[in-house]
């Protein structure tokens, strides 16, 4: 069987009952004013990501939606993990195999610059302080919220309010549900090490998808006609579902395409600038089918599903418009 060291870290995050429990983030200093907070300074930070990672993808979507591209630069790692005895990411897509701004080959270099004793996984997204070359924040759960609040003075004109004050309490509650039962739920199924753990995660994911399908029956977004942070969080899992989670993580009860409302919703988002243009299906399939699938002995990446299915047709646009008008 093909050697695969990239999934060995999973065993370190699995309990005695076979449940996958994701590691906690170490670099969680918030952005803002005052002592103990990271200063909000344009050009000071570089966002490191890999297009395969849903946690990193949502930070890139929000960065694009809010117009922060010229404020926070972006470094992109290879979707295929490097052949090293740790869970790392490499900049082998760049000239000389180094990030052109930070001058590093591996993301781990920025982590170890911040803490030489760091022993956790080297994850994305990671926000790096360019002058020092150190990771200062890898808090994937809250990073987009900082982009939406602390970085608001630098939003482009007409940027959507993804975290409106009148909905924040409801958004926070829904975000927590989406994280536990969908975003992280698929990983709890895929990385389960015992049947009962897998069964629990499998049922949890599909029960929540059924609930979300019903929620979207008569509205365009999760909060009616308002695009919010919650939509970004749900999208990054939905867009990976049929090509990665269904086959690799054994979440094979239904395809996303079997949910009429979720499927139309996901395609609507895909056609929204910031979503589809930051989605790389080739990279996603390469990572999940090779790095996350040790049984794929010959490292074969599937050609499907057909990406053109994500393009809306006229009747689908009318369907979504009718939802908004209540018809």
CB 205 within 8 A of CB 189: yes
How far is residue 157's CA from residue 66's CA, in Å, rounded to a whole number? 9
**Beta-strand relationship, 45-49 and 73-76:** parallel
- Half-sphere exposure (Cβ direction) of 181: Cα atoms closer than 13 Å: 16
Longest dimension (CA), the chain: 59
Q: Which of 163, 187, 235, 259 is the catalytic position?
A: 187
Task: Decide if 53 is catalytic.
Answer: yes
H or E element: which one contains 134? strand 134-137
Q: Which of 45, 53, 202, 246 is the catalytic position?
A: 53
Both tokens of residue 73?
């630069």
Dihedral (CA of 231, 237, 241, 243) sign: positive
Task: Decide if 243 is catalytic.
Answer: no
Dihedral (CA of 30, 35, 41, 47) sign: negative
How far is residue 92's CA from residue 82's CA, in Å, rounded to a whole number? 9
316 sits in the region (left: phi over 0; alpha: psi -120 to 50; else beta) called alpha
Residue with tokens 């395409």: 257
Alpha helices per DSSP H over the chain: 54-66, 108-114, 143-148, 168-178, 185-190, 195-215, 229-240, 246-248, 260-270, 281-286, 314-325
**Beta-strand relationship, 134-137 and 73-76:** unpaired
Catalytic residues: 53, 187
């Amino acid at each position: 069987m093909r050697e695969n060291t990239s999934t060995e870290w999973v065993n370190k995050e699995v309990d005695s009952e076979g449940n996958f429990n994701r590691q906690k983030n170490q670099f969680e200093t918030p952005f803002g004013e005052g002592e103990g907070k990271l200063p909000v300074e344009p050009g000071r930070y570089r966002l490191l990501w890999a297009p395969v990672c849903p946690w990193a993808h949502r930070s890139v979507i929000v960065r694009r939606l809010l117009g922060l591209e010229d404020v926070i630069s972006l470094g992109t790692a290879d979707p295929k993990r490097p052949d090293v005895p740790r869970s790392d990411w490499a900049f082998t897509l760049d000239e000389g195999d180094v990030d052109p701004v930070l001058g590093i080959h591996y993301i781990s270099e920025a982590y170890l610059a911040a803490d030489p004793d760091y022993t956790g996984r080297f994850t994305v997204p990671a926000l790096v302080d360019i002058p020092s070359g150190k990771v200062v924040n890898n808090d994937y759960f809250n990073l987009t919220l900082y982009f939406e609040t602390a970085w608001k003075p630098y939003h482009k004109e007409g940027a959507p309010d993804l975290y409106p004050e009148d909905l924040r309490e409801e958004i926070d509650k829904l975000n927590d549900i989406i994280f536990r039962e969908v975003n992280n739920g698929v990983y709890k199924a895929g990385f389960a090490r015992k049947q009962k753990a897998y069964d629990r995660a499998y049922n949890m994911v599909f029960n929540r998808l059924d609930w979300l399908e019903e929620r979207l029956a008569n509205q365009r977004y999760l909060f009616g006609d308002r695009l919010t942070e919650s939509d970004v969080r749900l999208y990054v899992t939905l867009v990976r579902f049929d090509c990665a989670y269904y086959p690799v993580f054994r979440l094979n009860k239904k395809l996303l395409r079997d949910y009429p409302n979720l499927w139309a919703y996901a395609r609507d988002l895909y056609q929204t600038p910031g979503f589809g243009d930051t989605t790389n299906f080739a990279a996603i399939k390469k990572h999940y089918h090779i790095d996350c699938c040790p049984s794929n002995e010959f490292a074969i990446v599937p050609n499907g599903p057909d990406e053109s299915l994500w393009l809306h047709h006229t009747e689908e646009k009318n369907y979504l418009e009718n939802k908004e008008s209540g018809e």
